[in-house]
Chains A and B, each alone.
Chain A
Amino acid sequence: QVQLQESGPGLVKPSGTLSLTCAVSGDSISSSNWWSWVRQPPGKGLEWIGEIYHSGSTNYNPSLKSRVTISIDKSKNQFSLRLTSVTAADTALYYCARRGPVKLTIDYWGQGTLVTVSS
């Protein structure tokens, strides 16, 4: 059974960098999946941040592209999100997720981790 687990600081200072890691179990990070990040501000809807393939190929949301980096660590079977120059608008529940090769949409999600941007 595929499981994803986010980890990282729950509080980040304005203008700082948000860094999260997603540990994958029950599947290989090198399999034919895209590994994604999605966020949800408190009480609001879902926003796709970006995704990475095991080859290192990435796709990002243009609205965040200048500040986002998604990377992959095959040795640890995990992938990471880095978001720079954060503001209060980046306060959200951050989910990591898997996009499979058959359904082509996100079919597994982590439980989410809340990141608050505040001084």
Chain B
Amino acid sequence: DIQMTQSPSTLSASVGDRVTITCRASQSISSWLAWYQQKPGKAPNLLIYKASSLESGVPSRFSGSGSGTEFTLTISSLQPDDFATYYCQQYNSYPWTFGQGTKVEIK
């Protein structure tokens, strides 16, 4: 299985901050990486697919980059609605696997 490792596990930030979350794969996954946002009691919501493609309806302050084994999710200016847990997921090879999550908290 491909292991996905996110850092940090928890991030404290203020509204307006630029936030970056890193996801590393245990082997190359090309650009087959997605990012999801999950709020308490809700299903995950797709933000980014194929490493850098923005899902329809997702604010442009979210962006993704990377290829191979290292990827980043950036929120350019953190908004109150963005406090949530973020997961990366690889879909290069079965079984699909997720990172352990990064919780973005209010500082």
Question: Which A positions have Cβ atoms within 8 angstroms of B?
Answer: 45-48, 59-63, 95, 97, 99, 103-107, 109-112
List of A residues within 8 angstroms of B53 by Cβ? 103
- What interface size band does chain B fall in? 20 to 34
How long is the Cα–Cα vector from A6 to B50 in the complex, in angstroms? 27
- Is B98 on the interface with A (CB-CB < 8 A)? yes
A104:B97 contact, CB within 8 angstroms: no
Nearest B residue (CB) for A96:
B43
Q: Looking at the complex, which one of A46, A63, A95, A103 makes contact with B50 (CB distance below 8 Å)?
A: A103
B101:A45 contact, CB within 8 angstroms: yes
B46:A107 contact, CB within 8 angstroms: yes
List of A residues within 8 angstroms of B49 by Cβ? 103-105, 107
Q: Looking at the complex, which one of A48, A97, A104 makes contact with B95 (CB distance below 8 Å)?
A: A48
B101:A107 contact, CB within 8 angstroms: no
B28-50, CB < 8 A from A: 32, 34, 42-46, 49-50
A46:B98 contact, CB within 8 angstroms: yes
The answer to whether residues A112 and B43 also contact, given A45-B99, A48-B98 and a CB cut-off of 8 A, is yes
Cβ proximity bits B8-46 to A, threshold 8 Å, 1 near / 0 not: 000000000000000000000000101000000011111
B85-105, CB < 8 A from A: 87, 89, 91, 94-101
B96:A95 contact, CB within 8 angstroms: no
A110:B43 contact, CB within 8 angstroms: yes
List of A residues within 8 angstroms of B98 by Cβ? 45-48
Nearest A residue (CB) for B89:
A105
- Is B82 on the interface with A (CB-CB < 8 A)? no
List of A residues within 8 angstroms of B101 by Cβ? 45-46
A63:B89 contact, CB within 8 angstroms: no
B46:A105 contact, CB within 8 angstroms: yes
A95:B46 contact, CB within 8 angstroms: no
